[in-house]
Chain A
Amino acid sequence: MGNNVSSGRKAPKITSQDKAVLQLKIQRDKLRKTSIKVQTVIKRENEIARQCVRKGDKRRALLALKKRKYQENLLDTVGKQSDSLETLINTIEFKLIEKDVVYGLQEGNKVLKQLNTELSVDKVDKIMDETAEGVSYQEELSERLGELMPRALDAEVDEELERMEREEAEKTEERSKNEAAKLGELPAAPSGELIDGGRKKEKEKREKGEKPQAVPA
């Protein structure tokens, strides 16, 4: 006990309620001690009474028994008081918790109210209106885009068609040139099938060769 009292800095705060509870608990402890004391006295008186009976000392035995009775009554009172103290302590401790609960409810309610003001019906309506506006705007936008799109596509398609036509025209021109040349060089064709096969190969070759030419055109 000679220690220097160095309570921690972050130590729990001690409120007046804590002090009150402590006092009650100390009283309860005292009663408990008393009850232990009384119980030992009762035991002793009982033994004394028994011994006196054995010795035939009726008067003393009676006295001891009377004392015991008195102590038993005392024990009863002590027990009752101890009980009521215990109840009181429990009630106080529970009330303290209840206080916290009420405080918690109050705080929760505050937050809820605040949230509700932030989420007012008008505001929600306004937001919904704005959203609807946004949606309709978007719809209109895509409608417009829908109108625009085919036009752009048309132009593209037209262009492609033109290009293809040009390519085809070039191809046929070249082929007729080649054929004219071949006809001039070669003797009569051997058979239809072979010509077909030969042509196919030639065609493939030509296509491979022509493609890079066709792109820049």
Chain B
Amino acid sequence: MDEQTSLRKAAFSFPKLYNFPPFFTRQPNQQTYHTQLEAWRKIVIEYCRFYRIWALSLNGTALTNVKAESSSGDDENEESEPSGTEGEKASVFKNTKINREVKGDFIMTIYESLIEKKEASWINEQNQRLGILIYWNSLEDWATMLMNWVVSTGQDGNVLTIYELQNGEAVQDQEFAGMATETLTRVIFVLAKEGRARVLKDDDGTIAGVKFGS
């Protein structure tokens, strides 16, 4: 994922509104507030799409290592975290140019609005501090994309690992490449519900692979 972000050297171009200081505080006027909220939703989605961010922390920085459990037991996904390049991460909700940032409770409102629109969901409903998954494509769209890729590459009926779907060589040119495990799991569950895929679990109960039907 760090490769892809570095490839797109051009920075995300925020709308003009982003340089307007009042945009960063909740507007008292109901109608203005609605427009404001909508604009923020759009910015978050497009920002994440641009930088291929799958999840955001509660202060709006990108999460590279998404975990549903707070216990940091497994270090399986360690390499997905590019050490060094992280440093001081930029937040969507922080505009250093005009020195403004969105406060925590308003961020929560924006997040809740995104969730309501099914454009996001908590990584863990019970522990919202872990962050939020941003669906810059809907889960259904991701599911269709994934299934189309599987069928077009003749892999329906085969067993594929989660890792393969994220980091496999065959996946690299796909839009879903490098998808966060947590997001991918949900996408797979969409397919499983439709009966188009079946989840294979590891001995410890974690999802290890998927078998795609047709």
A1-49, CB < 8 A from B: 1-3, 5-14, 18-19, 21-22, 25-26, 29, 32-33, 36-37, 40
Contacting residue for B211 out of A3, A18, A29, CB 8 A = A18
Majority DSSP secondary structure for residues of B touching A: mixed
Q: How far apart sit A23 and B194, CA to CA, in the bound complex (Å)?
A: 25
How many A residues touch the partner, as a band?
20 to 34
> Residues of A contacting B164 with CB < 8 Å?
25, 29
Contacting residue for A11 out of B69, B186, B213, CB 8 A = B213
Q: Are B163 and A29 in contact (CB under 8 A)?
A: yes
How many B residues touch the partner, as a band?
35 or more
B67-89, CB < 8 A from A: 68-69, 76, 79
Q: Does B100 contact A (CB under 8 A)?
A: no
Q: Mark A73-95, 1 if CB is under 8 A from B, else 0.
A: 00000000000000000000100
Q: Are A12 and B200 in contact (CB under 8 A)?
A: no
Contacting residue for A12 out of B126, B161, B198, CB 8 A = B198
Q: Are B199 and A5 in contact (CB under 8 A)?
A: yes
Q: Are B199 and A7 in contact (CB under 8 A)?
A: yes
> Residues of A contacting B158 with CB < 8 Å?
21, 93
> Residues of A contacting B202 with CB < 8 Å?
26
> Residues of B contacting A22 with CB < 8 Å?
159, 161, 200, 208-209
Q: A1-B182, A3-B185, A18-B200 are contacts. A11–B192 as well, Cβ < 8 Å? A: yes
CB distance from B200 to the nearest CB of A (A): 5
Contacting residue for B185 out of A1, A10, A32, A93, CB 8 A = A1
Q: How far apart sit A10 and B158, CA to CA, in the bound complex (Å)?
A: 16
Residue of B nearest to A20 (CB): B159
> Residues of A contacting B185 with CB < 8 Å?
1, 3
Q: Does B206 contact A (CB under 8 A)?
A: yes
Q: How far apart sit A168 and B185, CA to CA, in the bound complex (Å)?
A: 107
> Residues of A contacting B189 with CB < 8 Å?
3, 6
> Residues of B contacting A10 with CB < 8 Å?
195, 213
> Residues of A contacting B159 with CB < 8 Å?
18, 21-22, 25
Q: Are A3 and B200 in contact (CB under 8 A)?
A: no
Q: A22-B159, A22-B209, A29-B161 are contacts. A14–B68 as well, Cβ < 8 Å? A: no
Q: Does B193 contact A (CB under 8 A)?
A: yes
Q: Does B124 contact A (CB under 8 A)?
A: yes
- B69, B194, B196, B198: most-surrounded residue (chain A CB, <10 A): B198
Q: Are A36 and B79 in contact (CB under 8 A)?
A: yes
Q: How far apart sit A37 and B81, CA to CA, in the bound complex (Å)?
A: 12
B162-205, CB < 8 A from A: 163-164, 167, 182, 185-186, 189, 192-200, 202
Q: How far apart sit A7 and B159, CA to CA, in the bound complex (Å)?
A: 15
Q: Does B22 contact A (CB under 8 A)?
A: no
Contacting residue for B198 out of A14, A21, A26, A93, CB 8 A = A14
> Residues of A contacting B38 with CB < 8 Å?
none
Q: Are B193 and A8 in contact (CB under 8 A)?
A: yes
Q: Does B142 contact A (CB under 8 A)?
A: no
Q: Are B198 and A8 in contact (CB under 8 A)?
A: yes
Q: How far apart sit A1 and B182, CA to CA, in the bound complex (Å)?
A: 7
What are 12 A-to-B residue pairs whose CB atoms are below 8 Å?
A8-B193, A8-B194, A8-B196, A21-B158, A21-B159, A22-B209, A26-B161, A26-B202, A32-B167, A33-B76, A37-B79, A40-B79
Contacts A7-B199, A25-B159, A29-B164 supplied; 20 other A-B pairs, CB < 8 Å: A1-B68, A1-B185, A1-B207, A3-B189, A7-B192, A8-B192, A8-B195, A8-B196, A8-B197, A11-B192, A11-B195, A11-B196, A11-B213, A12-B197, A18-B200, A19-B200, A25-B161, A25-B164, A26-B163, A26-B208
**Measuring CB to CB, which residues of chain B are less than 8 angstroms from any residue of chain A?**
68-69, 76, 79, 124-126, 157-161, 163-164, 167, 182, 185-186, 189, 192-200, 202, 206-209, 211-213
- List the 3 shortest-distance A-B pairs measured between CB atoms, nearest first: A8-B195, A10-B195, A12-B213
